[in-house]
Amino acid sequence: MANKVQMPENDLMVETKGKLELFFDKYGNKLLKGLIAVTLIAVAIFAWVSISSNSDLKKENAAQAALTVALTTERDVASFEAIVNEYEGTKAANTAAYLAGAEYLKAGDIANAKASLAKYADVEGAAGEVINALVYTLRGDVAVEENDLQTAAELYRKAIAANEEVLNVEAATKKLALVLEAMGDKAAAMEAYKALVEKHPDLKAQYAKYIFE
């Protein structure tokens, strides 16, 4: 992991955080709806995964049932944390760690967000790739809050590489570009936008001003 950038918050840092907050305000509901849909798909997929022993199967099924209840009723950090702690080692607990981290970050609890996201392990498969990308993005957000911009940039790049779905790539690229600008590397920020429109040409008109300014 890159070394932390040790510096006080300056006007550019404050502006960067402000832009990220505005981004969340604008796209938060859309991202959350996509997250819930993806998570429900992941739950359905994981429920059919073959597990080695009957004991593991019972534990996984119980964890999946608890996660389904949490997603459709409570949907709060306490319910997700309970699944992480009670069903450690299951796929459902892994997903719950991500969801708990997202809730903590939304509430501004950076320490607990970081701790929860650290419990998440990358998952294989199409549904897993989407969640992996979201986790990298959230870890990048935590790094921004900690003023560790080098690490944030690395994590946003990992998020972009983890899944090519346009909503994920666009969101992570915008955050990456803001961080790069805050680090004083405007050229790298421009390259990030160029890579975005090369991967998703339909966005070219929307981001032309960032590429050709």
Mean pLDDT for 198-206 is: 90
Residue 137 burial (C-beta neighbours within 10 Å; 0-12, 13-18, 19+):
buried
Higher pLDDT, 143 or 41: 143
Question: Mean per-residue pLDDT for 106-116?
Answer: 96
| Fold of the domain spanning 12-212 | 1.25.40
pLDDT digits (tens, 9 = 90+) for 148-192: 999 999 999 999 999 988 999 999 999 999 999 999 999 999 999
More confident residue, 130 or 25: 130
Per-residue pLDDT tens digits for 124-140: 988 889 999 999 999 99
Quick one: pLDDT at residue 100?
A: 96
Count of C-beta atoms within a 10 Å radius of residue 50: 5
- For residues 175 and 141, is the Cβ–Cβ distance under 8 A? yes
Q: What is the pTM of this model?
A: 0.74
Q: Is the pLDDT of residue 39 over 80?
A: no
> What is the predicted pLDDT for the residue at 33?
47
Can you state the angle between helices 54-72 and 77-86, rounded to 10 degrees? 180
Domain ranges of the chain: 12-212
